[in-house]
Amino acid sequence: MPHIDFPSQFDKEAEEAVLGSCLIDPRAGEYTLATGLEPKDFFLESNQAIFYAIRSLVNRGVAPDFVTVTDEMDKTGSLAEIGGTGYLSALVLMVPSSFNAVHYASIVHRMSLERQLGKAGFDLLQAAADADEGLPLRARKLHSEIGRITRGLQERTLKDEMQAVYDTTLKRITGELKDEVIRTSMTRLNKLLQGGLRRTDFTVVAGRTSQGKTALAATILHHISVVSKLPCVLYSYEMAPAQMMQRLVALRSGVPLRLIREGDIQDDHLLNRATIALAEIADSPLVIVSAAGWNIEEIAAHAQTLARQAPLAVVAIDYLQLVAVSPDLLKANRATQVSGVTAGAKQLAERLNVNVLGLSQLNRLVEIQDREPELSDLRESGGIEQDANQVLFVYDAPKKEQATMPEGYFAKILSLQKDRNGECGKTEVSYFGPLTRFVDYPLPKNVIYAQAS
Contact of 260 with 249, CB cutoff 8 Å: yes
- Give me the domains of the chain, ranges plus CATH numbers: 12-174 (1.10.860.10), 182-447 (3.40.50.300)
| pLDDT given at position 59 | 85
How far apart CA 305 and CA 396 sit, in angstroms, is 38
Most confident of 119-128, 168-177, 297-306: 297-306
pLDDT in tens, 171-182: 656 665 555 789
Residue that wins the pLDDT comparison between 249 and 5: 249
Q: What is the pLDDT of residue 444?
A: 45
Q: Provide the pLDDT for residue 315.
A: 96
At 34, the pLDDT band (50, 70, 90 cuts) reads confident
Label residue 378 by pLDDT band (50, 70, 90).
confident
Residues sharing a CB contact under 8 Å with residue 381, sequence separation 6 or more, in sequence order: 375
379: pLDDT strictly greater than 80:
no
Average pLDDT for 306-331: 88
Give mean pLDDT, residues 297-316: 90
What proportion of the chain, given as a percentage, has pLDDT over 70? 80
Is residue 124 very low, low, confident or very high in pLDDT (cuts 50, 70, 90)?
Answer: low
Query: Do the beta carbons of residue 92 and residue 24 sit within 8 Å?
Result: yes
**Residues 338, 358: Cα–Cα separation, whole Å:** 12
pTM here is 0.62
Mean of all residue pLDDT scores within the chain: 82
- Nearest to residue 108, comparing CAs of 6, 5, 27, 21? 21
Distance CA 178, CA 194 (A): 13
Residue 357 has pLDDT above 90, yes or no: yes
Percent of the chain with pLDDT over 90: 35
- Single-letter amino acid code for the residue at 38: E
- Decide if pLDDT at 414 tops 90: yes
* Of residues 403 and 247, more confidently modeled: 247
Binned at pLDDT 50, 70 and 90, residue 156 comes out as very low
pLDDT in tens, 87-114: 999 998 888 777 778 888 888 888 887 7
Q: 267 with 449: CB under 8 angstroms?
A: no
Q: Which of 343, 349, 322 is nearest to 213 (CA)?
A: 322
Can you say how many angstroms the Cα of residue 150 is from the centroid of all Cα atoms in its chain? Answer: 28
Averaged pLDDT for residues 313-336: 87
Radius of gyration of the chain (CA): 31
What pLDDT shows up at residue 3? 47
For residues 301 and 326, the answer to whether their CB atoms sit within 8 Å is: no
